[in-house]
Structure 1
Amino acid sequence: MGVTCQILIDRPEDGAFKAGRLVTGTLKYFIDKPTKYERISMCFLGKGDCEWTETDAKNTLYYQNKEKYINQIVNVYVRRKSEDFISGGFEYPIQFLLPIDIPPSFYDKICTIEYKIIVTFAKANSFSKKNFDVRIPVTSYVNPCTLEPITFGLKKNLSFRINNKINVKGEISKTCIKPGDTIHMTLTVNNGTDLAVVIKTELIKRLTYISKGNHKKYHEEAVKNTCTISTVAANAVANLVCLASTYQDLFSIQHAKVMKGEYMIRLKAKLPFPHANALLDIPVVIGQRKHELIAPPAVYYEYNREQPSTSAMLDQNNKYRNEEDLTKYEKEDLNEDSAKYIKEVNGKGIVQEEI
C-alpha cells in the first residue's frame, strides 16, 4: 500500500480563493510501514500555458507560451540520519498566500491558467517519487480600463451634404462592474437622413491568446441575452436606454502574458444596402477592483527538523497597508490596451467617425 495522502482545502463560501488572500487547509498522510524518505514536500504552483496550430497552404505552424505566477515549496519532512525510518499517520497545516497580481483560473482548448498544491514523497537512495495534487480555484482583481463615466460618439455620413448624417452620442455610467451587475448605457440618436436606422448594442467577449513570439490568436463571441435593438425613423431624434446584464461566471482576465480576456459594448448603426454600417466598441471590465481585495499578513513555514504534527508560522508586514495605497496603485495601473479601442476626448470620452 505504501503511502496514502489527503489534501483537504478549506473552501471559501463562493467556491474560489481571491488573489491576495490565504489558501488554507490540512495535509493528512499515512505511511503503512517504516520507510526511508529523503524528503516530503508541498508545492503551491500557479502557471499558465497556451498552445495552438495554424495551417496555411504549405505549412503547419505551432505556437506556444508559458509562465509561472507562484512557485512556493514547503518541506514537510527532511531526512537527517541515514537510519531514519518513518511510519504512521501525520497531519500538517496548509497555508499559502496568493500574490495580488495574478490572473484567475481559466481552462479552454487553447489555454490553461491553473493553481495546484502538489505533495511529493521522495524516497531515500532512489529516484522513486509519488505525487498527489489538488486544483485550487482562484479569482483575481481587475483594473478599470477607462475613467467613469465615459462618454462616446458615433457619426455616419451618407453623403457630403451637411444634413445627411447620423450622429449618436452616449454615456456608460460604470465601465468596471462586478460579475452579475448590469451595464447601463444611454444613447441620443440624431438621424438626419431620409432612411430609418437600426441601433443595436451587445456585450462582446474577446479572448486573445499570445505566443512566445507575440503572435496572437483571437476568439470573439456575443454574450447571450445582452442584445438590444431599436429603430429610429428618418429625420427623427430618439433617446434610448440600453441595459446589458452580466453573469456570475463572466470575468475579465488580466495580469497574464499567455492570454487576455476582454469585454466590450458593441454599438452598431445598421443601414440598408448599399450603405455600410457604422461600428464602435466601448471597452468594459468585469470583476472585483483591487482595493476590494486587501491582503492579510503574509505567512511562511519554518521547518523545525521534526516530523510534523503542527507547524510554526511567522508574520510578515503586508505590502499594502491600507485601502488608500491600493486605490492609488490601481489608478497607476490602468489598462493601456484600451487605447486600441478609443480616442479620449476631454479626458473621458471616445468618438469614432464613419464616412
Structure 2
Amino acid sequence: MRHSWLTTLMIAAVLFDSCTKHEDNSQGQAIGFSASTVAQAESVKATSIGTPTTDATLKSQSFGIYGLYSTADGGTGANVFDYSAPVEVKYTTDKITNNTCWTYTFDGALYTEKKYWKRNMYYRFRAYHPYSANVLQAASTADGLDIEYRVMTDQYDLLVASAKSYPANEGYERVTMTFNHALCALKFKIAFKETVTPPTYTDNIVHFYITGLDAYGHLDYEGFGDDEVLTWEGKFNSRDRVYEWTGSKQFGVKTGNYEPIYLMDEQECFFAIPQKCSDPSKGPTSIHLFTQKSGGTDGIDHTVNLEPLEWKAGMIYTYTLLVNKSDIEVSVSIEPWLTKQVPIDIYL
C-alpha cells in the first residue's frame, strides 16, 4: 500500500567538494557529509523521561546509507561505497582533511579516499537513522530496506529516506534526501471529568502502562519518490506491559481554568509501530492508569480499552483520559508530525 509521507525530522543531501580526480571515469567531485540540528524530542523509555536532541547529541549518533549506480535508471547497480553492507556516517575527524565533519566509515575504519561521482551514471540512495537500527543486511540495498523494531528495547525514532539522481543531466549539485518518520507517536493527557466534585479535587498519577500492541514489527521500505512504499508487519503482544511509567504527578478536575496534564512533558512521546490498535482480529489495546490520593497508600486501577484506530507512520496521536471515579472517558486528537516540531538537517 502506498503511503503519503510527511516531510519530517531530517533532511539530507549529497554534498560535492572540488577535488582532484582519482578514477578514470570519475567526474572529479567527491561525496562529503555535514549535519546540524536545533532540537528533537526523544521518546520515553520504560520509567525514564527522554531528553531533547541537540547539535551535540546528534553528533554522537551516526546513520547508515546504501548507494548504487548503474548505466540505466533502475538497472542492475554497483555499490557506490564498494560494499554491500550499509556505510556508517558519523561525526569525526577526517583523515584526509583533518577537519571534524560527517565522514563515512566501514567496519569502524575511515575510508582512506573519498568516493567520487562517475560520469554518465544513474545513482540511487537509501538511508536510515540511527545507524544502530536492526537492519537485515542480507535483504537490504539502496533499492529497499528491511528493518526489525522491538518496542520493548528499541525506543528510538526510526527514520528512513531515499533519493535518485542522474548528475549528467541534473548537474553535480546536492541530491536532497528527505528523512521521514517510520513510526508514529503517542501522547497521553489526564484529568478528572468536569462532573467530578468538588472542582478543586486532585489525585496523583502513580503508574501507567499499555497492553495489547504490536510490540515487534518488521519494516519493508521500497520505492522512490511518489512510488515509495512503507509496509509494517507486526506481532501482537497481549501479555507484556509496554510504555510503563511510574512516579507521582498531580492532576485535577477539567474546568474552564484547568486543562488535562500530560503524562510526560508536552514535547515528549512514546514511539509506536504503525498498526491498528484494538484490532478485532487480534485483541484489545488497553490503557492501565493507576491513581492515588495525596498521602494515600492504595492505588486505584483505572483500565480502559481503546477504540479500534489505524495508527499511521508520521502522525501524532494524543489521547485524553478523563477519569470519572471508576471509569475513564477517552478521546483522541490526530496531527501530522511536522518538521517544525523536530527540525534536523543532515547533509550527505
For the aligned pair, the TM-score class normalised by the smaller chain equals under 0.3
TM-score by length of 1: 0.27
More strand by share: 1
